[in-house]
Amino acid sequence: MAQRNPGSAAIGYLPDETPSIGKLLLFAFQQVLVMFPATVTVALLTGFHVSTTIFASGLATLCFLLITRGRIPLYYGSSFSYIAAIVGITGASRFGVTAPDALISQAQFGIIMSGLVSIAAGVIVSRFGIEAIERVLPPTVTGSIALIIGLSLAGTALTSVAGYSNGDLAGNSNLMWIAGLITLLATIGFSVYLKGVWRQLPILLGILVGYAVSIPLGLIDFGGVFAGSVIAAPHFTLPAPSWAAVLAIMPIAIATIPESTAHLFQLDIYVNDLAKRKGKGEYKIADKLGLNLIGDGVGDIVASMFGGPAGTNYGENISTMAITHNFSCAMLAAAAVISILLSFVRPLSNLINTVPSAVINGACVFLFGVIGAQGIAIMINKRVDMFDARSLAVIASILIIGIGGSFGFPNGMIPAFGMQLPAIATAALFGIVLNLLLSIGRKEEKE
């Protein structure tokens, strides 16, 4: 009996594989659609320029892929963890109102300094190895953080599907629900039942179905698509030294390292699963954590040099890659180039802006759930002992602080000791410290 080729039934692209040009562009555009809503939202919340933020996202992604030599398939987008710290500098008080250039410049300086923190952490990890970082960031921490990242976004997805924006109903909620639910069910159906290359485009296809449904429902306004100039350069600003911005923004980088680590471990699991099914050797992506952190820091610096907010590798894009089994770095580079072009070609970016939030977030209900599920996958893959008291203490603390803080307080900021603490970052730091404290004497006990 002939042996079955282990790669015969495996469909997908590994980091060093490149789809044909037509597929490449379709896959890349799907990645752009996925990152677009969150990246633009950060700009609108912090007072940064939207077109500049889109440009910075694409350029930082290209630099990340260059720094990591195409070995780590990640897309760089604006981070929600920095919002409160940046708003403290820009003074953005109203959604969508751009801050003065002078204040944006000060925030840029703080973001650049935070990038240096990530680079320093990456150098330390590269010098002392993954074992050193796993003592600080075990799967109980990284898995739990990935889980709360997904779950903390659940409220955003559902309220947007229901037609709410900043707590106010923006449109006909019933029509929004119809568009959102159709998008969600179409996306799930495409990911489960389609075959071949079409199975790798469930997000794009689901959003297109939702968009088509939204037109007769009256949820789309095409009036602003060709408003203004066809070609217009983004509004660039230069950083200006500000120690207040450094003190406000730089420490956030420490708290985002566990998030970036969790994303990398998620990626490692899914890439190697595909490699095994294709009969390929192991892709040691988790071992490149130091390189990932250096690339993340470079991304922050590059984005901020032009006037973009601080960022991170995007869980939404990782989820899309996991669902579609497409981890091609060439595809992500194409997505980055498309983003840069969108920042200059106003009608294209305006057209994407016509996609109703209910449609985008209908797909995100699926995507955000996958992010949370990947956190569980990390703990299963690393064989975390769920009956161990120490593990349970770390996991429980991170989950409740992260989820409780995200939903219990406005904008996910926990008021404590005269400060506003970002829920996910606070949960991560608390979990790291608690794990280190509970690990004291643990080696001796095992012996």
User: Which residues span the domain enclosing 268?
Assistant: 21-221+231-440
User: Do 124 and 378 meet the contact criterion of CB atoms below 8 Å apart?
Assistant: no
User: Do 139 and 378 meet the contact criterion of CB atoms below 8 Å apart?
Assistant: yes
User: Which residue reads 């601080």 in tokens?
Assistant: 310
Output the pLDDT for position 236: 93
User: Do 182 and 362 meet the contact criterion of CB atoms below 8 Å apart?
Assistant: yes
- Burial class from Cβ neighbours inside 10 Å (0-12, 13-18, 19+) for residue 231 reads exposed
- Contacting residues for 138 by C-beta, under 8 A, at least 6 apart: 382, 394, 435
In a domain, 373, yes or no: yes
Output the pLDDT for position 3: 43
In a domain, 98, yes or no: yes
- Of the two residues 9 and 375, the one the predictor is more confident about is 375
- Burial class from Cβ neighbours inside 10 Å (0-12, 13-18, 19+) for residue 437 reads exposed
- Of the two residues 297 and 151, the one the predictor is more confident about is 297
In a domain, 396, yes or no: yes
Q: If pLDDT is split at 50, 70 and 90, which confidence band does 168 have?
A: low
In a domain, 315, yes or no: yes
- Contacting residues for 200 by C-beta, under 8 A, at least 6 apart: 11, 12, 23, 27, 324, 325, 326
The answer to pTM > 0.85 is no
In the predicted structure, residue 9 carries a pLDDT above the cut 70: no
Least reliable range by pLDDT among 117-126, 252-261, 304-313, 373-382: 252-261
- Of the two residues 407 and 4, the one the predictor is more confident about is 407
In a domain, 15, yes or no: no
Each residue's pLDDT tens digit, 337-393: 999 998 998 887 777 778 888 888 888 888 778 778 878 887 887 788 888 999 999
Number of domains forming the structure of the chain: 1
Each residue's pLDDT tens digit, 90-111: 877 665 678 899 999 999 999 9
In the predicted structure, residue 8 carries a pLDDT above the cut 70: no
Q: If pLDDT is split at 50, 70 and 90, which confidence band does 60 have?
A: very high
Residues 154-179 as b/e (b if ≥16 CB within 10 A, e otherwise) read bebbbbbbbbbeeeeeebeeebbebb
In a domain, 102, yes or no: yes
In the predicted structure, residue 37 carries a pLDDT above the cut 80: no
User: Do 315 and 149 meet the contact criterion of CB atoms below 8 Å apart?
Assistant: yes
pLDDT, the chain, mean: 84
Q: Give the whole-number percent of the chain exceeding pLDDT 90.
A: 32
**Residues 248, 110: Cα–Cα separation, whole Å:** 7
User: Which tokens is 286 given?
Assistant: 């988790």
In a domain, 249, yes or no: yes
Each residue's pLDDT tens digit, 176-204: 899 999 999 998 998 888 876 676 678 77
**Residues 272, 274: Cα–Cα separation, whole Å:** 5
**Residues 172, 391: Cα–Cα separation, whole Å:** 46
Each residue's pLDDT tens digit, 202-234: 877 888 899 999 999 988 888 777 777 888 889
Output the pLDDT for position 446: 43
DSSP 72-136: S---EEE-GGGHHHHHHHH---STTPPPPHHHHHHHHHHHHHHHHHHHHHHHHHHHH-HHHHHHH
In a domain, 82, yes or no: yes
